[in-house]
Amino acid sequence: MSDLLAGAYLAKGTIGNVGTPGAPIATFSLVVVPSQNSVSGTVVITQAISGPDGNIVVPVTGKIYATGFGQFTQVVSLQGQYVHAFPPPAIGAFLANFDAHLAIDGSWNGTGGFSYYQNNVENVPVKAIPSLQAELA
């Protein structure tokens, strides 16, 4: 039972064109358990727009696999759902799907994309955020 979380670590980063005005950015914070090929955590999608798509929090789960070759040594898939509210004057909300796919190296840098509600972002950079411990050292 104690081997279930063997090698678990925290991965934090962004998916998207950071610094591009109006571009949607997905910031992830994930617990990765390589021995189980599992990933779970939270993705926050931010965009400089008003309305329901300006700041979205999505609980996600997914899979991570080693490719064994090339520049990108790991592939990651993420899925989740969030409550999407209709903009006023409409009333109501529904569960919208979120999906992401990443091709990354061992440092969580690479390329990927994500989709949510009626938005699809493809072929954008994936960049790791340095951990707080590394910044303090």
The letter for the amino acid at 38 is S
In a domain, 2, yes or no: no
Structural domain contains residue 119: yes
Among 81, 78, 136, which residue's Cα sits nearest to residue 108? Answer: 78
Domain assignment present for residue 137? The answer is no
Range of the domain at 74: 9-128
- Is 1 among the domain residues? no
Check whether 52 has a pLDDT greater than 60.
no
**Residue 84, domain member (yes or no):** yes
Read off the amino acid at residue 79: Q
What H or E segment, with its residue span, contains residue 98? strand 93-104
Q: What is the pLDDT of residue 68?
A: 81
Based on the structure, what is the number of domains in the chain? 1
**135 located within any domain:** no
CATH of the domain at 80: 2.40.128
Residue 117 falls within a domain, yes or no? Answer: yes
Which contiguous run of DSSP H or E holds residue 133? helix 132-136
Ramachandran class of 69: left when φ > 0, alpha when ψ lies in -120 to 50, beta otherwise: beta
Please tell me the distance from the alpha carbon of residue 137 to that of residue 133, in angstroms, as a whole number: 6
Statement: residue 47 has pLDDT above 90: no
- Average pLDDT taken over every residue of the chain: 88
Residues whose CB is less than 8 angstroms from the CB of residue 102 and which lie 6 or more positions away in sequence, other chains included: 15, 74, 75, 76, 77, 78, 110, 111, 112, 126
Q: Is the pLDDT of residue 43 over 90?
A: yes
Instruction: Note whether residue 18 is domain-resident.
Output: yes
Cβ neighbour number for residue 66 with a 10 Å cutoff: 11
